[in-house]
Every structure is written in structure tokens, then in C-alpha cells.
Amino acid sequence: MSGRPKVAIIGSGNIGTDLMVKVLRLSEHLEMAAMAGIDPDSDGLSRARRLKVATTHDGVDGLVQLDEFAEVEFVFDATSAGAHRRHDEVLRALDRTVVDLTPAALGPYVVPSVNLGDHLDARNINMVTCGGQATIPIVAAVDAVTPVHYGEIIASISSRSAGPGTRANIDEFTETTASAIEKVGGAARGKAIIVLNPAEPPLIMRDTVHCLVSGADTAAITSSIEEMVGRVQAYVPGYRLKQKVQYESLTNDDPLHQLVPVGAPADAVKVSVFLEVEGAAHYLPSYAGNLDIMTSAALRTAEHIAAHRQENSR
């Protein structure tokens, strides 16, 4: 393979189409080669054809039959957790690197602002969930200063930005996000909640992060969170704090206090962070920050892996 590594996308819905537009418009390291879907009349496949991208409406089976697939190095999966399991089997046998935007979690979790340099040689990378991409950096920022005994996140997204794939993956969303809060964010225990907000006009993505800590240096925690927000903004400019970081001392009879492990400082504190994620509106409306942060994180991850491989091949 020569020049920029070529990529394909499975899934011609909102996420797949936005990702295609990002690759074509923004990426200096990757080249868009093909898009696969299952609806021949989808806007994603129609747009891909207009942009001279090879297409198929026969899913992964049609994708691997395309002439263009021979030079594809990375495949982004923007379908569903259930569908991804078979996609991974097919693509693993063909030695392709898969960047999974579903919550299937077959491969290691990657949140670019936290662990972008990890798992560079993995053949399947999981991008967790939109809620995870928005909130896990905050949990990790707190954990960098003091151990997080418990991390809870609430992701509120517009109903309009939740397509069939998102709605079909609600259970996987909560399970995968909670797991990644622990494995990537560093929390001893994690919990995730998603809210589909039906408000009109649609509201942009809002996220709340609660972290239980003890022996807290509030100035250091705030500084770490603000630094982490800047790191996320490097690839998601619409990511921002809605207000100052909040600290609440908990009494001994507060249920959360029971999660403080034996031997830890007894002065339990709940750290609360309120976020807003506005999308870049490359293809999706700006209120769909939940989808924009997923495609932006996936693109950044694939570009970093591609750069790593090119450097090692010299």
C-alpha cells in the first residue's frame, strides 16, 4: 500500500455519513475508498456516489467484493453492536484494522484524550460510546489527582440525534460506558445513564459527571479537568464546560459515603462537572454533538494509528 492509508465505512446512516464527510474534508492522513450500507436509497450511499466513493448496499459481504477493498487498511463500523460481531469476524480473517463505533466492545477501549497511545497494534479498537467519549476524560482527569471511588455519568442527547442504531444499543451503551469509566477513566466503580430528550427545538448534548473522592485537593482537580477539556477541544472544538466545577462535602450517613474504601481519607467529596458538546455540523446538525464526538474521536484514533505504522515502516 502506498500514499495515505485507505479506509472504508460500514453503515450509511448519520454516523457513517458524517464520518465519511470528515475523512474527505478534514483528514490529511487517510483516504476515503468505500462505503457499505444495506439501504440502496439511503442518503449516505447517495452522497457517497456523488462524491465518487465506491459503494455497495450489500453490507460487509458486498464491501469485501469491491475492487477498492483490496487497498483498504482501516474499516470503520458505524452500524450496531449486534451487527459488529459478524463484521469483526469477516474483517479479522482479512487482516483489516477495525475501528468500532458501536458499543460491542470486542476490542480495547480508546478515548483519544486519555489513552490514544495505547493499543496501537490492536486489530479491533472500540470507541466506547458518545457518552463515554464526552465524560471519561473528566473521570480520568479527576483520577489523575486523587483516586475516584465511584464515577457516574448522565448523557442527555436530543431524540432527533438518536437513530435506530443508538436506540437499539441502549443496554450496550450503559454497560460499555460503565465498564470504560472503570478501565479507562480509572474509577473503582462506574455507572452510566442516557437520556433521550424530546425537547423542540432540539437541545445540544449535555453531560453530567459525578465523581466520589476523598482527601480532595480541589484546586488541583479543577486544574486537571480544565487541562483535559483543552485536550478534547483539540479534536472536538464544541466541547466545553457549562459552569465551574462543583464540590460537595458528604456526611457519613450519605449513601455515597459507603463507597469510600476502608483506609481512604474519610472526608468524602462529590465532584460534579457539567459539560456541553456542540457538533461541528459537517453533515449533522450542530445539536448532534453526541454523534460528532464519536466520529471525531474515531477519525483521530485511526489517524494516530496510521501515523504510528508509517513511522515504524521507515
Catalytic residue positions?
Answer: 130
The answer to whether the annotation marks 169 as part of a ligand binding site is: yes
Alpha-carbon gap, residue 289 to 291, rounded angstroms: 5
C-alpha cell of residue 110:
480508546
- Provide the angle, in degrees to the nearest 10, between the axes of the packed helices 130-143 and 170-183: 20
Beta-carbon count within 10 A of 40 CB: 12
DSSP string, 144-174: TTS--SEEEEEEEEEGGG--HHHHHTHHHHH
The answer to whether the annotation marks 161 as part of a ligand binding site is: yes
The answer to whether the annotation marks 14 as part of a ligand binding site is: yes
The answer to whether the annotation marks 163 as part of a ligand binding site is: yes
The answer to whether the annotation marks 185 as part of a ligand binding site is: no
C-alpha cell of residue 7:
479506509
**C-alpha to C-alpha distances, 218 to 146, 228, 312, nearest whole angstrom:** 10, 15, 42
The answer to whether the annotation marks 296 as part of a ligand binding site is: no
Alpha-carbon gap, residue 131 to 135, rounded angstroms: 6
The answer to whether the annotation marks 162 as part of a ligand binding site is: yes
The answer to whether the annotation marks 15 as part of a ligand binding site is: yes
> If DSSP codes are grouped into helix, strand and coil, which group holds residue 268?
strand
Known binding-site positions for NAD(+): 12-15, 161-169, 290
Which residues make up each annotated binding site?
12-15, 161-169, 290
